[in-house]
Structure 1
């Protein structure tokens, strides 16, 4: 399938939210509660949240398209919150890189990651749930190494993430 990426636009906010709702649980631990997932989606992944990101000077959203449809997105934050991990401080963060399940295994995530990281000078960090073995392997294949751990607040739950850096 031919995939392409582009910088997201304000008019993409509804589609970005729809993709986020369909993919967020895949990046979460399998035992995450419905309440936790729903709370996070309702408080962080609505169209208004994406419009806020699109208007931010420190965040860059990129969409992945297939046949004119948005099937994934990435969010790069040039000024993320501190993690108190020396190797990861003051680095831009790939805070989201999600692709719809129907596109998994087709090179979609690789295209999205490649095009997103092409915009970064130097090292970059990300966090990934410690139980998301598929994503961890993907990031390791792309040069990311674990440098520590962090807690991710998901509604009423705390999930453990790996902090990974690519030099």
Structure 2
């Protein structure tokens, strides 16, 4: 059965939390302290956090499934905070786009990103850790370009992220 996309529901919060926890370290610098990663997971990736996102008027969550099992998710923020980078201001943000490692290279991430972008109009932004070469290549192939840098707080650490923007035409 091919991958399928659907909106996330309240009964998905455990699965969303599992995916978030299983993929967060992959999106972080390889030398991140385990305590810093755990701090972020504890304070941002628990089922109750996803329940709050689902109830938030500016958040949209999608799930990619395979054989009825969630293997990834994305989250749009329709009103993200300021980054003080002119090209990224007043843009919808893909604040999360994660796929479990077993679904990497299988088309799930592309399907998820395409579905997520279909819920936007105008330019869209995202941040990605500067050391996450695989994700950066993926986003560049999909028309995102680096427009600046931002700091991502993770426990006691500060990670360097690229801020990337994609125009409506993907150019």
TM-score class, shorter: over 0.9
Q: Which residue of 1 aligns with 2:72?
A: 72
Task: Give 1:78 shift.
Answer: 0.5
2 CA distance for matches of 1:54 and 1:99?
A: 19
Aligned to 2:55: 55
Q: Paired residue for 1:162?
A: 162
Measure, in 1, the Cα distance between the counterparts of 2:35 and 2:80.
26
1:90 matched to 2:87: no
Q: Deviations over 1:91-120 (max 9, x none)?
A: 000000000000000011000000110010
Q: Please state how far the C-alpha of 1:82 moved relative to its aligned partner.
A: 0.2
Unaligned runs of at least 5 residues, structure 2: none
Offset of residue 53 of structure 1: 0.2
Shift of 1:80: 0.5
Q: Which runs of 4+ in 1 moved over 6 A?
A: none
Mapped pair 1:149 → 2:149: yes
SS in 1 for 2:109: helix
Gaps of 5+ in 1: none
Aligned CA RMSD, in angstroms, stands at 0.6
Q: 5 Å matches for 1:12-161?
A: 12-161=12-161
Q: How many residues align?
A: 167
How far apart are residue 132 of structure 1 and its match?
Answer: 0.1
TM-score by length of 1: 0.99
